[in-house]
A = this chain, B = another copy of it.
Amino acid sequence: MSNSSLLVVGSLAYDQIESPYGSVERTLGGSGNYFSLAASLFTPPRVVGVVGDDYDPKDWDLLAKREVDLSGVQKVPGKTFFWSGSYVKNLNEAETKETQLNVFAQFNPTIPAKFADSKFVFLANIDPNLQLKVLENVQCPILTGLDTMNLWIHSQRAALEKVIPKVNVVMMNELEAKLLTGIDNAVGSAAKISEMGPKIVVIKRGEFGFLCYQKGDGYFSLPVLPVKKVMDPTGAGDSFAGGFWGYLAKLGKEPDFQDVRRACVVGNLVASFTIREFGTIALQNLKLQDLSAAYQDFQKVIQFPALNF
């Protein structure tokens, strides 16, 4: 058993995307795919999810050749989750044109027995009742975390309030953190979510970076790496999560706040690559040395000298 074992439960999808820079008809999408491609820069995750019988073998191979463990992916009759969105009016916020849940509507994750020893567990944005069920099927993890969205905050608040105290890390978008807590301020929201139980809260701020809070250690906040041309922001948040969890899983120990800081920067930078091309294209081509170079560039972008008065 490796202490680097990383489990992710999330959606596997096809996306149709329009942006000011063009469009793609049917590109690989879903939190599970973005997460896995990002995380596999560090450690190949074990994926639990569902696809339809229209899932392209090439897409299967793409993850398999990065040593992602797909034995927890159910392939069932029907069509794969499909999402269509446009960034033509606003590059920073998708306008959803169509959502076909398809086989994802009945998704009920089954954790293979051999995944029960996973040490790092990330529950991407799915029904919090299912997140609870997954957690019950993992023994002695080192670090667990979840993402969520406005749909569950509105419709499954009780389940969400039950699962949040059971994880170590909550990662969510700023608007959703404000919605969950009723606090119109990311700083206050992060502290409030932490009061529910999780030691670490990461508020994702889209084009503005992130704010991280660790109980007892305080805040860590940074903007995004300046990128001149954002082509398609789809998957940025899941890429952040993949980089964050992949990095921490590779460390293979309970992270201290310095580790968490590095993980946030890694996630932030992986996302900065994702958005430069449509879908998962940039992620597929990303190399660890590119990320390492961006890490050093980013340190230069945000550094400032001591005051001289």
- Contact present for A223 and B250 (CB under 8 Å): no
- Contact present for B301 and A302 (CB under 8 Å): no
- Contact present for A309 and B184 (CB under 8 Å): no
Most B-side CB within 10 Å, residue of A90, A209, A292, A302:
A302
> Does A188 make an interface contact (CB < 8 A)?
yes
Collect the chain B residues with CB atoms within 8 Å of residue A218's CB. 301
Q: What does the 1/0 interface line of A204-237 toward B look like (CB < 8 Å)?
A: 0101110100000011111110111110000000
User: In the complex the two chains form, what is the Cα distance from A219 to B297 in whole Å?
Assistant: 10
Collect the chain B residues with CB atoms within 8 Å of residue A301's CB. 218-221
- Contact present for A226 and B304 (CB under 8 Å): no
Q: What does the 1/0 interface line of A225-262 toward B look like (CB < 8 Å)?
A: 01111100000000000000001001000000010011
> Does A22 make an interface contact (CB < 8 A)?
no
Q: Tell me the A289-304 residues at the B interface (CB within 8 Å).
A: 292, 295, 299, 301-304
The residue that A309 contacts in the complex, of B221, B230, B250, B309, with Cβ under 8 A, is: B250
Q: With both chains docked as a complex, state the minimum distance between the C-beta of A121 and any C-beta of chain B, in angstroms.
A: 21
Q: A187-B227, A205-B208, A288-B309 are in contact. List 6 more A-B contacts (CB 8 A).
A: A42-B309, A186-B207, A187-B226, A208-B208, A222-B222, A262-B304
Residues of A bordering B, CB below 8 Å: 20, 42, 90-91, 184-188, 191, 205, 207-209, 211, 218-224, 226-230, 247, 250, 258, 261-262, 264-266, 288, 292, 295, 299, 301-309
